[in-house]
A and B are shown apart, each in its own frame.
Chain A
Amino acid sequence: MIELDGLEVRLGGRTVLDGLTGELRGNAIGLLGPNGAGKSTLINTLLGFHEPARGAARVFGLDTRRDRARIRQGIGYMPENDSFIGNMSGVRFVRFMAELAGLPPGEALERAHEALFYVGLGEVRYRKISTYSLGMKQLIKLAQALAHGPRLLILDEPTNGLDPMARQRMIQTIQEIRKEGSIRLLISSHLLRDIDETCDEVLILKQGRVAALRNIEEERRSNRNFIEMETVGSTAEFCERLRGLGCECASFPDGRVKLVMPDTIDVRDVYVLASENKIEIRRINRRRDSLEDIFLRAMESEPARGDLVSI
């Protein structure tokens, strides 16, 4: 869907994207990175707002430099900040955007109504957008991005400024769109949880370079359970029996035990074994390898320049 070939973008004499190379083929791709990593610049480059200084970016196999109009035809874009015409009613605004995307007026009106109902703004579609709440303004941006039936939906910080209820609704809507399957998603967010809940791939940028490109689903599948315990009593036999269950186990002289559990083993089994070996468990700390770990590891490592990364 998106191919980056040594993409370098310079803005104001500063290199913002530095030799990005990779292929993004997933249905829902998360774009992560600290402030100034180049997330928005990458999105703007894919939309054709910025010209690459070197290398190329291709969307649907089309070059962002030469085929800007054809790429934009197939993209629905929801920008991060407020972006609408406050003087227009919701339905008129979405219809306007759909017509700009190439829908005939009649179809555009029909799709505008449908999109507004789909995102949950059906009841307020005749109100001026300037009277909408922050959550509604986020939803109207999503509605206009969906109305023309794009092949790729780019969402820049979709849950920005939303209260927990509105955020949950936005996440559910994105999950529904992903499930439906006809639209690919590219979601940029600071919130790891949003990406975790909505995406199956993640591209992590750092200093304008690719820090990591991971398939979240595969990471989840290969996830291992780490458990750290503080115990009182002899741990040698306890560890032996844990190994017998298929765990990787390491014991330390101060009574600390670290183990990696396979998915088939439950924590309850550990308690049972401890009880049978007369071991007191004073503290148990269980943690899973999360997107946060992937992100933190990527931030610690030196970002790659020009290396081909693909999933």
Chain B
Amino acid sequence: MSVFKHEYRAYTGPVTSLPSRIVVLARYALAEAWSSKITVALFIASMIPIVVYLIIIYLANNPIARALILRGNSGGLDINASFFLKVLASQCWLALVLTAWIAPRLVSFDLADNALPILLSHPISRFGYVLGKFIALFSCLSLVTWVPSLLLFAYQGYTSPQPWVNAHLRVAVGLFAGCTLWIALLSILGLALSSWVKWRMVATGCIFAAVLIPAGVGGVVSAILRTKWGLLLNLPVMMSQLWHRLMGVPDSIRFGRDIPSTAIAAMLALICFVCVVMLNARIRAREVVRG
């Protein structure tokens, strides 16, 4: 099968290992995600808060710059767990926006043209397919969440005149754990919802709706039944409480409104389980050509 002879030639060369096929899927999914200018624009927008936080850390640790720019007023420039909690929260909400844009691009093109029968006729399983897409989305979200957050942490450790890092190691661990939990949840949720909606823009709306509408419903349930358990439907509140606990920052939530960590963990596990079931059902239904 050479171009000039137009003849078929059997392939006799080396073959890659089975697990590496998942990386192939992830690589092509990443390329698909970054082929959109909107993805690049959103990524740049997600980096703006990081630049602002970087300047704050610089000013907090540089007395001369502080004297010149802030004229000696250093109020609000304490770099501690609360500061990094703000970093985590802002980046994690930007990650939601990025998920709403990228996740539908990774799945809907495959579904729109019924590509799953061909894709899955290759030596790759349903799990491998989802894992490849998950890795791609998780990698994109990592670039705007825990990677820049930990770089800020490292920069603070480097510029701080006192031995700062050892005293705040829990902040770094909390940053990493809080971000990875959130983006893992967003990735699986984004893929599951995108797999059920054929149109990308609708899928984008569904991802926002899946986070915000149950939050509203949870608020109504809590108000009417006078119970805190309605908050289990409120993903932003649940995650905020979890982040506070992971970073060791005192929670400012009203007394009696805090949810036990085990309940939050169980709710997150339930959401992930539902998403996996949705993905499995959808891909199973689309993997074969129905005669």
Interface residues of A (CB under 8 A from B): 35-36, 39-41, 44, 47, 49-50, 68-70, 72-73, 75, 77, 79-87, 96-97, 99-104, 107, 111, 113-115, 117-118, 122, 129-130, 141, 144, 146, 148-149, 156, 176-177, 180, 182-183
CB of B113 within 8 A of CB of A69, answer no
Min distance, Cβ A296 to any Cβ of chain B, angstroms: 22
A83 touching B113 in the complex, CB below 8 Å, given contacts A97-B122, A99-B24: yes
Which B residues touch A103, using CB under 8 A?
11, 13, 15-16
Q: Flag the segment in B44-52, B163-171, B255-263, B283-291 that touches A.
A: B283-291
Which B residues touch A144, using CB under 8 A?
118
Besides A69-B125, A100-B25, A104-B13, 16 new A-B residue pairs in contact (Cβ under 8 A), listed by A number: A36-B291, A77-B117, A77-B118, A83-B118, A86-B112, A99-B24, A100-B122, A100-B124, A102-B123, A103-B13, A107-B11, A118-B7, A148-B11, A149-B12, A180-B8, A183-B8
16 contacts between A and B (CB under 8 A): A50-B288, A69-B123, A72-B123, A77-B118, A80-B289, A97-B122, A100-B123, A102-B18, A107-B13, A111-B1, A113-B3, A117-B3, A146-B1, A176-B8, A182-B8, A183-B10
Min distance, Cβ B153 to any Cβ of chain A, angstroms: 36
CB of A114 within 8 A of CB of B289, answer no
Which A residues touch B1, using CB under 8 A?
111, 114-115, 118, 146
- Which residue in B28, B115, B121, B125 is a CB contact (below 8 Å) of A77? B121
Chain B at the A interface: mostly helix, strand, loop or mixed? loop
- Which residue in A80, A86, A102 is a CB contact (below 8 Å) of B21? A102
A-contact bits for B109-148, CB 8 A (1 contact / 0 none): 1101111111111111100000000000000000000000
A-B interface, 5 closest residue pairs, ranked by CB to CB distance from nearest? A149-B11, A40-B291, A102-B15, A77-B121, A100-B122
A-B Cβ contacts below 8 A, count: 128
State whether the Cβ of B14 lies closer than 8 Å to any Cβ in chain A.
Answer: yes
Which B residues touch A96, using CB under 8 A?
24, 28
Question: Could you tell me the distance between the alpha carbons of A107 and B10 in the complex, rounded to whole angstroms?
Answer: 12
Min distance, Cβ B108 to any Cβ of chain A, angstroms: 10
Which A residues touch B11, using CB under 8 A?
103, 107, 111, 148-149
Question: Could you tell me the distance between the alpha carbons of A118 and B6 in the complex, rounded to whole angstroms?
Answer: 5
CB of A104 within 8 A of CB of B289, answer no
CB of A81 within 8 A of CB of B289, answer yes
State whether the Cβ of B32 lies closer than 8 Å to any Cβ in chain A.
Answer: yes
State whether the Cβ of B9 lies closer than 8 Å to any Cβ in chain A.
Answer: yes
State whether the Cβ of B73 lies closer than 8 Å to any Cβ in chain A.
Answer: no
CB of A87 within 8 A of CB of B32, answer yes
Question: Could you tell me the distance between the alpha carbons of A241 and B40 in the complex, rounded to whole angstroms?
Answer: 89
State whether the Cβ of B2 lies closer than 8 Å to any Cβ in chain A.
Answer: yes
- Which residue in A47, A49, A69, A104 is a CB contact (below 8 Å) of B18? A69
A-contact bits for B85-110, CB 8 A (1 contact / 0 none): 00000000000000000000000011
Which B residues touch A49, using CB under 8 A?
120, 287-288
CB of A141 within 8 A of CB of B289, answer no
Question: Could you tell me the distance between the alpha carbons of A146 and B28 in the complex, rounded to whole angstroms?
Answer: 20
Question: Could you tell me the distance between the alpha carbons of A157 and B8 in the complex, rounded to whole angstroms?
Answer: 21
Question: Could you tell me the distance between the alpha carbons of A141 and B115 in the complex, rounded to whole angstroms?
Answer: 10
Which B residues touch A100, using CB under 8 A?
21, 24-25, 119, 122-124
Question: Could you tell me the distance between the alpha carbons of A280 and B120 in the complex, rounded to whole angstroms?
Answer: 65
- Which residue in B8, B28, B109, B122 is a CB contact (below 8 Å) of A118? B8
What residue in chain A is nearest B17 (Cβ atoms)? A102
CB of B122 within 8 A of CB of A85, answer no
Which A residues touch B119, using CB under 8 A?
97, 100
What residue in chain B is nearest A188 (Cβ atoms)? B291
